[in-house]
Amino acid sequence: MKFMITWSTHTANRHDVFQTFAAMTDADHETDHPGVTVIGRWHDLAAGTGVAICESDDAAAVQGWGLNWNGAIDVEVRSVLDDQEARDVIRNRLGSE
């Protein structure tokens, strides 16, 4: 399953969050989200927001990743479909060919 994670840092601790993230090593990143494959992650540093697309067969692992950070940022997790998956669902549900 693919998930879209969006976040917004709390204004009061934004720079602390940035410093924590910047100090993370590759090993830290791996232990931060076990069972979750990051497809891509994009940051709007000026606004203190961002989005990630990830993949996992374990929704609890994705939620756990968000839980790691939710004391410092607001996190939303949504399941999403790629183009082909969306087309298949639409064709199935609406009878389109």
Q: What is the pLDDT along the chain (97 residues), one digit of tens a residue?
A: 999 999 999 999 999 999 999 999 999 988 999 999 999 999 999 999 999 999 999 999 999 999 999 889 999 999 999 999 999 999 999 986 6
Across-strand partners of 80? 2
Nearest to 48 by CA among 33, 79, 69: 69
Residue 92 and residue 70: Cα distance in Å, rounded?
37
Q: What is the pTM of this model?
A: 0.88
CATH dotted code for 2-94: 3.30.70.1060
| DSSP code, position 72 | T
Question: Which single residue is written with the structure tokens 């990051």?
Answer: 38
How big is the chain by its Cα radius of gyration, in Å?
Answer: 16
Q: How high is the pLDDT of residue 95?
A: 81
Specify whether the CB–CB gap between 59 and 12 falls below 8 A. no
